[in-house]
Amino acid sequence: MKVVAFFNNKGGVGKTSLAYHLAYMFSDRGLRIVIADLDPQANLTSMFLDEQRLEFLWPEGRHPRTIMGFIDPIVEGTGDIAPPRIEKIGSRLGLLPGDLGLSIFEDALSDAWPRCLSGDKRAFRVISSFSRLIMHAAEDEEADLALIDVGPNLGSINRAALIAADYVVIPLGPDLFSLQGLQNLGPTLFRWRRDWKDRLERNTEPTLILPKGQMEPVGYVMMRHSIRLDRPVKAYARWIELVPGVYLSSVLEKPTPSPPPMDSDPNCLAQMKDYRSLMPMAQENNKPMFFLKPADGAIGGHQAAVRDCYNDFHRLAQKIGKVIGVNVP
């Protein structure tokens, strides 16, 4: 079972939407999927679930059916993680629901990180809590693949979430801020990977199942680039041209004076269209864009856009699957 995280230091690039649609696509192609919402904003959870279900999951007081409920014993210092409860989205798709209160876990994770260096058993349990929750959920669901959505920052919550990941997909936008985020992200992944390896060697509890912290970059996805005559508009072309070189130097540590153009860059998993007319419709109907029907309002030219959207996400899912060694029919 492989674990894939979707991560960028820059917000607003469509990361959560990408994770959401790929979870449905992998599931539609026959894979059993668990997806974890580890972003304290919980936007992924609100995409999957309607308001009535969200009110049930997020009542006043404690939330035993969310990420916060599962780690509550760790936060309170009363025990280890609680057994996760999966929200069934479909027969092959389950969600570990996010929680707006997750940000209070930041301090505990920050405190535990240095204590791992002295072999502190509780510190290892705290840092590995996300990983162990995902593994429990994946075992319960007999999942082929686990996906993780995280917030756009380099804080301790994301460090613990990324340590749980075998692979990382990096969504980007065609702008200066995404490029700067990419320059920050690469060195951070290297540092987290190195530091976690150092800590693993100091674990004094051999029965505790800890993640390897592999965090191997799968590639990047260029999101939401406007299209005119099948070409990015000129305002974005400059940033798109720079991405392959920055990815090679900052993320893979393989700088080159002559990086390939994005269209032929093997590290570019896809250049996704906006599908602006479909997204509001999909949000209103609580379903991915590529599952919209005429009854949902997808009539006329929208149906062709729906088919194109399905094909685009199918190709992307297959490409990710090929890189990580998971067959996507």
**Domains of the chain with CATH codes:** 2-324 (3.40.50.300)
Tokens of 157: 């919550």
Residue 103 reports pLDDT greater than 50: yes
Residue 228 has a pLDDT of: 47
pLDDT at 230 over 70: no
Higher per-residue confidence, 13 vs 17: 17
Please tell me the predicted confidence (pLDDT) of residue 301. Answer: 85
**Amino acid 191: pLDDT:** 97
pLDDT value at residue 238: 85
CA distances from 194 to 12, 212, 215, 306 (A): 29, 11, 11, 43
Most confident by average pLDDT, 197-211, 229-243, 269-283: 197-211
pLDDT band for position 235 (cuts 50, 70, 90): low
Give the chain's mean pLDDT. 94
Which residue do the tokens 């685009």 mark?
312
Region 31-35: mean pLDDT is: 98
Segment 85-98 shows an average pLDDT of 97
Q: Can you tell me which residue has the tokens 């996010």?
A: 98
**C-alpha span between 302 and 313 (Å, rounded):** 16
**Would you place residue 224 in the very low, low, confident or very high pLDDT band (cuts 50, 70, 90)?**
low
Q: For residues 133 and 286, what is the distance between their CA atoms, to the nearest angstrom? A: 26
Which residues have C-beta within 8 Å of that of residue 288, sequence separation ≥ 6? 20, 21, 24, 25, 282, 313
- Give the span between the Cα atoms of 127 and 74, in whole angstroms: 10
Cβ partners under 8 Å of residue 261, min gap 6: 241, 244
SS (H, E, C) 99-142: CHHHHHHHHHHHHHHHHHHHCCHHHHHHHCHHHHHHHHHHHHHC
**Which of 104, 216, 92 is closest to 157 using CA atoms?**
104
What are the tokens at 284? 């209103």
pLDDT value of position 64? 95
What is the pTM (predicted TM-score) of this model?
0.96
**In the 8-state DSSP scheme, what is residue 251?**
I
pLDDT score at 294: 95
Beta-bridged to residue 33, according to DSSP, are: 93, 145
* Mean local confidence (pLDDT), 139-144: 97
Where are the strands (E) in the chain, listed by range? 2-6, 33-37, 87-90, 93-96, 145-149, 167-172, 216-222, 227-228, 231-232, 268-271
Pairing state between β 87-90 and 93-96: antiparallel
Tens-place pLDDT, residues 286-325: 999 999 999 999 998 899 999 999 999 999 999 999 999 9
